[in-house]
Structure 1
Amino acid sequence: MLLLASAFVLTLLQGSNAQNKTSVTPADCNTIETDAGVALDLVNRHRRDGYVFGLFRVADAHKLHIGNSSVLYLTLDVLETECPVLSRRHWESCEYGEIYSTASNGTRAESYVNNDFGQCKIITYTSQLLKKPQLYGFNCTLSPVPPDLLECKDCPVKVEVLEVTEQHKNIAAKALKKFNSESNHTNYFDVDKVEKILKMTASREGHILGFSIKETNCSKSAQQAEPTLQCDFLDDWHAYVGFCKARVISDAEEPDGTDISCELYSPWVRPHLLKCLWLYRHTGDSNPT
């Protein structure tokens, strides 16, 4: 995507009039924090999975002036927040990290787990006509928390970040059964993607998962009448989506060792599609046949 954005910038340069002067300068230190925050919010709104990125610091910033317009090049150090991208929340309203609590031999132990750290390279374009910056390219990379930072030899609970596999999706699906049985939603939900999983080991073994869910075409009444009914996801325009956090304890003496909480969000409406539909409709009205 950055290559496409760079091509766009070159086009701007080639198409600029001879009288329009272009210059690249370091960004204004007094305003760059605000501009970087706006750019990061545009990136988060463009993404479709994972967790919302929060701004840690501005590593580098330069601005290309093209006549009455400008292109901003940003390199931002970011941290994953606890907000899923599906929530559409602004990164400043999200929290970082979480404290996971587990009881072991009557003792309450708390383990703090840091979020992944990363870097985003972002290009935005602002014209004098639109005033608001537009996102023209970004590339973000994340580095997982090093295992040694999670080690605690004296802690009664050992925490380990696992690489997500198909097996973990099955664990999420089992946890989701509890949500489906207890929620008042008319249709069943299924696991879309497991975003993160932690393994906790003490006197018992357990997993903590964060995963996205999506509404299926199976109603609860139809499923009860035909248990083997195959369920498929509804299309994006009609399906409710959500994000769940679950704690699953593996213990034969505790058959219902599952705690799950899910947030549901309205059917995903892509802003760029609505914009295209709006432009098409109004262009048609202004040019009657």
Structure 2
Amino acid sequence: MKVLVALILLVQLPIHKAVPTAPPPPLGCDDPESEAAAELAVNYINDHSHHGYKFALNRIENVRVIPQGLNHKILFLELDLLETECHILSPTPLENCTVRSFTEHAVEGDCDVKLQNLDGKLSVLASKCHSHADSNEDVTRVCPDCPLLANLNNTQVLTAVTAALNSHNSKTAGAYLKLLEIGRARIQYHPVHLVFVEFAVAATNCSAGEAKANVDACQLLPDDQSNFGFCTATMATQPLQDVQVDCKLYGHQAGVTYSQPGQDTSAGLLPNVVQGFTNHNLRLSHNNPFASESSSSEFPTFVVAAKPVVKRTVGEAAQHDKVARPVGFVPPPPPPCPGRVHHFKI
């Protein structure tokens, strides 16, 4: 009898079905967590770039969060970056580096970065980037007379770099400098023909005077004594040739090395990776396919559907603005992505 009563009571107990957990709300591109992840990602990209210039964050284009359990999640960021005036060998902190203006023929970087947040600690797992210069048409539309980027192996560019470095070495009593790489070059054809070049250099174990006797004996300093630097120069070719050059050495930086291209650059030659290109492509340093969410099919994705935009006339908009709002009304938050533009949009 007791067993029968127990069975009846068991049948009458309510049955609780497991309710599926709703996905977390999307993380906005301008949220503090997204910005902190983007800052870490940009520093990672710059620290692991081998050539060219440091890049600064211009906009967070998209962010996806994939929960991985308690206090653990994966973040996928899509970032829009802009080239700065600081070479990757420069010790200048990124926050003090000037972003190149639009009229200087800006270079944009597009990066996918995969990070993890484990117990509140962010770390970068993978990065994939591509960088490209703005189109000539966009620049000339705003500034018809602005000089445009030239190929790094352009004959005029190589001539200008060689002449500038020779000019510096002939006038200095300090260390003889050798070329590491040409960073960028622009050519102005009107009203005066000018070639603007920027290039990274390194001190050798020779003085400029000693190099005159036997330049082939001059070698770059070893890593524990390395001294990198940067030069900017302008060469006029018409009506007379004239070169103005300014070179600065950074001093030894512990742990900072330069990835040698495996090719002599002392005469203005360039590594093969930049032949025929106007800028150093971030793809050469960051090309990990696992940085993209699309390559990680093992993770579910939470996609925020975009709402249709309804355009209104000026009269309709004015009438809409006159609608009384209830006390305590809070306008809806802005769309989660893309985020704000920090500098300018290309």
Contact between 1:211 and 1:244, CA under 8 Å: does it hold in 2?
A: yes
User: Which whole-Å CA distance do the structure 1 matches of 2:95 and 2:170 have between them?
Assistant: 34
How many residues were matched structurally?
232
Q: TM-score, normalised by structure 1?
A: 0.69
> How big is the shift at 1:207?
0.5
User: Which whole-Å CA distance do the structure 2 matches of 1:193 and 1:71 have between them?
Assistant: 37
Contact between 1:236 and 1:268, CA under 8 Å: does it hold in 2?
A: no
* 195-204 or 227-236, which deviates more: 227-236
- Which residue of structure 1 lines up, in the alignment, with residue 112 of structure 2? 121
Counterpart among 202, 210, 217 of residue 205 in structure 2: 217
Q: Larger C-alpha radius of gyration, 1 or 2? A: 2
- Structure 1 residues 154, 138: CA separation in 2 closer, same or farther (over 3 Å shift)? closer
Check if 1:247 corresponds to 2:247.
Answer: no
User: Which whole-Å CA distance do the structure 1 matches of 2:143 and 2:208 have between them?
Assistant: 47
Q: TM-score, normalised by structure 2?
A: 0.58
- Which residue of structure 1 lines up, in the alignment, with residue 251 of structure 2? 266
- Which residue of structure 1 lines up, in the alignment, with residue 57 of structure 2? 55
Counterpart among 147, 151, 154 of residue 140 in structure 2: 151
Q: Aligned AA for 1:188?
A: Y
User: Which whole-Å CA distance do the structure 2 matches of 1:228 and 1:241 have between them?
Assistant: 19
- Structure 1 residues 153, 119: CA separation in 2 closer, same or farther (over 3 Å shift)? closer
Contact between 1:25 and 1:62, CA under 8 Å: does it hold in 2?
A: no
Partner secondary structure for residue 151 of structure 1: helix
> How big is the shift at 1:268?
4.7
- Structure 1 residues 77, 184: CA separation in 2 closer, same or farther (over 3 Å shift)? same
Alpha-carbon RMSD: 3.1
Partner secondary structure for residue 125 of structure 1: strand
> What pairs with 1:166-245 in structure 2 (closer than 5 Å)?
167=155, 168-185=157-174, 187-224=175-212, 226-245=213-232
> How big is the shift at 1:166?
6.5
Partner secondary structure for residue 133 of structure 1: strand
Check if 1:30 corresponds to 2:31.
Answer: yes
Greater strand fraction, Structure 1 or Structure 2: 1
Contact between 1:239 and 1:267, CA under 8 Å: does it hold in 2?
A: yes
* 131-140 or 80-89, which deviates more: 131-140
Identity over aligned pairs, percent: 21
- Structure 1 residues 184, 222: CA separation in 2 closer, same or farther (over 3 Å shift)? closer
